Amino acid sequence: MTKMKEVGSMGLKMNEKDLRYKVYEGTEGERAIDISSLRKDTGCIAFDSGFVNTGVCSSNITFIDGEKGILRYRGYDVADLAKNCEFIEVVYLLIHGSLPTEGQKARYSNLLNSHSLIHEDMKEFFSHYPDHSHPMAILSAMVVSLSSFYPEMGENYKEDVDMKVTRLISKLRTIAAFSYKKSIGHPTIYPKHDLSYCENFLNMMFSSPVKEASYNDVMVSALNKLLIIHADHEQNCSASVVRSVGSAGANLYASISSGICALWGPLHGGANQQVIEMLEEIERDGGDVDKVIERAKDKNDPFRLMGFGHRVYKSYDPRATIAKKLCMEVIESTNNIDPLLDIAMKLEEKALEDPYFVDRGLYPNVDFYTGLTYREMGIPTDMFTVMFAIGRLPGWIAQWMELKDDPHGRIARPRQIYTGPTFRKVEPISKRN
């Protein structure tokens, strides 16, 4: 567990009392005031809607500097990892804390393939979901169902953690592909032992008994990189949900299922789907980008420009730079002309020239180009958030494991400011108006 360094203290004067609170510093210079005894000392709590200024844990997994546009996993820059690693290497890094050797990578790849099948009885579950069920609903339900088929991932998770954690990472990919096949009424395609992690997923998605899957090496490489840039993102909404559920003692499957549900929200992982829907609406409306920019700036217009701005990044999202390059590469490899890409690029150009967006730090985020890339691969819009979940899974697991290993970990229990009615007595029902 990462140790924070005490670097000083901060004074607070309240009700004629002088109070001192320790100040801690992380390895990258981030500072935090320890107010864990604030309520005891003052009778007050800190009010911080959305936990924007609240650190809920110390962590050695991911570092973000939103002002400088920095994202690192275990000290490695995300662009460096995307350039030089496959997704399973980053999975290994997040789970084990170091990048694998060639031998470790080969063993890990074999583990992924050997645990890629789901229990045959689970296939029956898919047949009972209504037609056109959203893949995220199926994904979350199937993940929590894994706890019935593989219950040993409980308190003794450290025993052969590779096997247990890798089982979930591998099976989620299979469940995701099966959920897509269910949504279109096609038979499921089993994983193959001779394909890589990303090749296996694309094959399960797009193969059928009458047609081989159509994908190229550029798509496989792009998918590896897209999953890498989504692999973790510090204490985001879904990761904090995984930690909160895990803090109650819930098993890994239940915790991950809760994270999937959080990711489904349109303000979190569902944003890339909304970007595509916005671009399609702009195309139907004639492709007038200037009109869209003006609508986004009008405070009286409910329209929102999707794919721009980020809670943490106040400069260009480093993942967006990678995603844009991948989008161009995939579209070039297919020789397709996507009118939505032209609209997206014009929209970005106009926004980056407009002081309204620049002054507010509203740059394209990771969602802006990932949806276009998945669309070009043939992945349907309602599967975009599922792709996000596949990428984010190792980060969620790493967060859950770190929580379990924290000797000072406590159940998540935020406070609140009550604004309801004051005390009142219950009137007999005959006297109520």
Which of 115, 232, 310, 317 is catalytic? The answer is 310
Answer yes or no: 128 catalytic: no
CA distance 179 to 390: 13
DSSP assignment of 203-268 equals HHHH-BTTB-----HHHHHHHHHHHHHTS--SS-HHHHHHHHHHHTT--HHHHHHHHHHHHTSTTT
224: closest CA among 386, 82, 383? 82
The 10 Å CB-count burial string (b at 16+, else e) for 52-75 is eeebebbbebbbbbbeebebbbbe
Name all contacts of 119-123 with Cβ < 8 Å and 24+ positions apart.
119/149, 121/149, 122/149, 123/178, 123/188
Can you name the residues that pair with 19 across neighbouring β-strands?
12
Answer yes or no: 310 catalytic: yes
- Kindly give, in sequence order, each residue whose CB lies less than 8 Å from that of residue 344, ignoring residues fewer than 6 positions away: 275, 279, 368, 369, 372
Which of 115, 232, 317, 367 is catalytic? The answer is 367
Output the CA angle 170-175-176, nearest 5 degrees.
100
CA distance 91 to 231: 8
* Active site (catalytic) residues: 310, 367
